[in-house]
């Protein structure tokens, strides 16, 4: 049985209208819309209608988002940039790297396209990009990173949870390998934040990035970048903007004088409507508590993997709870047809490569797992 501590499972389902008629297992793609996130957009529009440009309040909301991200990561607000996407955060990081002495960027094969593409774009600046590819069982081990991280390496990228297979990297071990070689380490945690209890201190990484679209229950256009405090003085992003300046309202165009804290990785006008939504989504996650969500989700994932094994399905996601997150993948012979067949039964999943992706979150319950297992049993011919 999944453990139900905090506000998870049945206790929160009424807040998400889609759950009344749909088995929603696609939080790895987009979190379900709640009443409170919808109301947050209304609040933004009402304020705009009532008061016109509420810039002082809107900038304060951006700072509230910075503080909320910091709490979720157990970081200090001064270590968090408010971004519009992971892309912005990663571009900011690489723009601050001096690639002359250290041209190597090491990336896991499980990086999201934006991370891989930004790394390869640095080849125009002399970078050399090395990929760390999975073992036959799909895992990528710290020692594989150790084999390619050297004294010429500037950055090591190890996404926390693979969006393709659900594998979870041993981020702390990989960060130690990077640091032993004098390199920095980035963990794109989009597929973890909100569903896994993260603590940047114990992960030991230099950068963590993610956003609100998935397990933080809001919509597109809001993200974060954590930058380890001790690094800030020496990291000067060339990708910048006026909201990254030490004094935004001075409107000074005579020099580059970035903020002393991680706000130096902010950029232009904050994405105000998305910030309203993001704050509402994050409040729900904080009420439940990420430790309670992780425990709940892990119980559901175990139930699901047990059922998939009974069906004789091929499950690339590891069975060990320490090596997976909220995403369980199952191999299909025709994943497009399988997603459509499930959709016809109002079971929403997604696909990557030839894997059906089944994502579990605080609002999922045992019955959701049983329902998809029952449907997959009937569509057994589409499982590899
Ligand atoms: C692991 C991961 N990183 C990044 C992204 C998105 O990046 P961006 O915010 O730049 O669109 C996603 C999903 O869309 C993701 O799953």
**pLDDT value at position 17?**
98
**pLDDT value at position 6?**
74
In this model, does residue 2 exceed pLDDT 50? no
Q: What are the tens digits of pLDDT across the range 52-61? A: 999 999 999 9
In this model, does residue 24 exceed pLDDT 70? yes
**Centre of ligand 1 from the C-alpha of residue 138, in Å:** 21
**Centre of ligand 1 from the C-alpha of residue 132, in Å:** 19
**pLDDT value at position 4?**
43
Residue 66 makes CB contacts below 8 A (sequence gap 6+) with 77, 80, 81, 82, 224, 263
**DSSP letters spanning 313-355:** ----S-SSGGGB-SEEEEEBSSHHHHHHHHHHTTEE-EEETTE
- Name the phi and psi angles at 293, rounded to 5: -65, -45
Structure tokens at 295: 């425990």
Average pLDDT, the chain: 97
**Ligand 1 atom 14: residue of nearest CA:** 29
In this model, does residue 5 exceed pLDDT 60? no
Instruction: Please give the average per-residue pLDDT across 122-150, as a whole number.
Output: 97
Structure tokens at 256: 């580059």
**Centre of ligand 1 from the C-alpha of residue 321, in Å:** 23
**pLDDT value at position 288?**
97
Closest-CA residue to 367 (of 18, 33, 5, 13): 13
Q: What are the tens digits of pLDDT across the range 178-211? A: 999 999 999 999 999 999 999 999 999 999 999 9
In this model, does residue 1 exceed pLDDT 70? no
| Site residues for ligand 1, CB cut-off 6 Å | 85-87, 112, 114, 159, 163, 188, 190-191, 211, 223
What's the pLDDT band for 97 if we cut at 50, 70, 90? very high
Q: Is the pTM of this model over 0.95?
A: yes
**pLDDT value at position 271?**
97
Q: Please name every residue paired with 187 in a beta bridge, in sequence order, or none if there are none.
A: 208
Question: What is the rounded distance in angstroms from the CA atom of residue 180 to the CA atom of residue 71?
Answer: 28
First vs last Cα of the chain: how many Å apart?
Answer: 28
Question: What is the rounded distance in angstroms from the CA atom of residue 384 to the CA atom of residue 380?
Answer: 8
Instruction: Please give the average per-residue pLDDT across 152-159, as a whole number.
Output: 98
**Ligand 1 atom 15: residue of nearest CA:** 190
Instruction: Please give the average per-residue pLDDT across 111-139, as a whole number.
Output: 97
Please count the other Cβ atoms lying within 10 Å of the Cβ belonging to residue 340: 11
In this model, does residue 3 exceed pLDDT 50? no
State which ligand 1 atom lies nearest to the alpha carbon of 28.
16
Instruction: Please give the average per-residue pLDDT across 3-32, as a whole number.
Output: 91
Q: Please name every residue paired with 207 in a beta bridge, in sequence order, or none if there are none.
A: 186, 227
With vertex at residue 214, the alpha carbon angle to CA 240 and CA 84, rounded to the nearest 5 degrees, is 15
| Residue of 26, 28, 86, 198 to test ligand 1 pocket, by largest number of atoms within 8 Å of CB | 86
**Centre of ligand 1 from the C-alpha of residue 182, in Å:** 27
């Amino acid at each position: 049985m999944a453990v139900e501590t905090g506000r998870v499972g049945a206790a929160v389902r009424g807040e998400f209208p889609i759950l009344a008629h749909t088995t929603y297992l696609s939080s790895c793609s987009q979190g379900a819309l709640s009443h409170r996130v919808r109301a947050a957009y209304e609040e933004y529009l009402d304020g705009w209608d009532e008061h016109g440009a509420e810039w002082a309040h809107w900038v304060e909301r951006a700072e509230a988002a910075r503080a909320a991200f910091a709490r979720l990561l157990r970081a200090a607000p001064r270590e968090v940039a408010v971004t519009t996407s992971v892309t912005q955060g990663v571009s900011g990081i690489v723009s601050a790297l001096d690639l002359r002495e250290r041209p190597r960027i090491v990336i896991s094969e499980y990086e999201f396209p934006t991370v891989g593409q930004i790394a390869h774009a640095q080849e125009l600046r002399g970078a050399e990009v090395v990929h760390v590819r999975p073992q036959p069982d799909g895992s990528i081990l710290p020692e594989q990173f150790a084999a390619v991280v050297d004294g010429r390496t500037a950055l090591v990228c190890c996404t926390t949870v693979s969006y393709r297979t659900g594998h979870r990297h041993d981020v702390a071990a990989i960060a130690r390998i990077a640091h032993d070689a004098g390199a920095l380490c980035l963990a794109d945690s989009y597929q973890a934040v909100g569903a896994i209890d993260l603590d940047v201190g114990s992960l030991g990484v230099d950068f963590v990035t993610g956003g609100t679209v998935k397990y933080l229950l809001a919509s597109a256009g809001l993200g974060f970048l954590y930058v380890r405090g001790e690094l800030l003085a020496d990291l000067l992003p060339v990708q910048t903007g006026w909201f990254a300046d030490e004094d935004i309202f001075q409107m000074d165009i005579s020099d580059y004088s970035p903020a002393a804290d991680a706000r130096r990785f902010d950029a232009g006008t904050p994405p105000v409507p998305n910030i309203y939504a993001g704050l509402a989504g994050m409040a729900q996650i904080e009420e439940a508590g990420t430790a309670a969500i992780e425990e709940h989700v892990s119980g559901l994932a175990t139930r699901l993997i047990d059922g998939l094994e009974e069906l004789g399905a091929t499950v690339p996601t590891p069975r060990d709870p320490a090596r997976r997150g909220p995403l369980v993948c199952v191999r299909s012979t025709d994943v497009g047809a399988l997603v459509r067949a499930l959709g016809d039964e109002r079971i929403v999943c997604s696909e990557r490569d030839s894997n059906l992706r089944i994502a579990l979150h605080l609002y999922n319950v045992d019955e959701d797992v049983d329902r998809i297992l029952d449907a997959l049993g009937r569509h057994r011919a589409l499982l590899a």
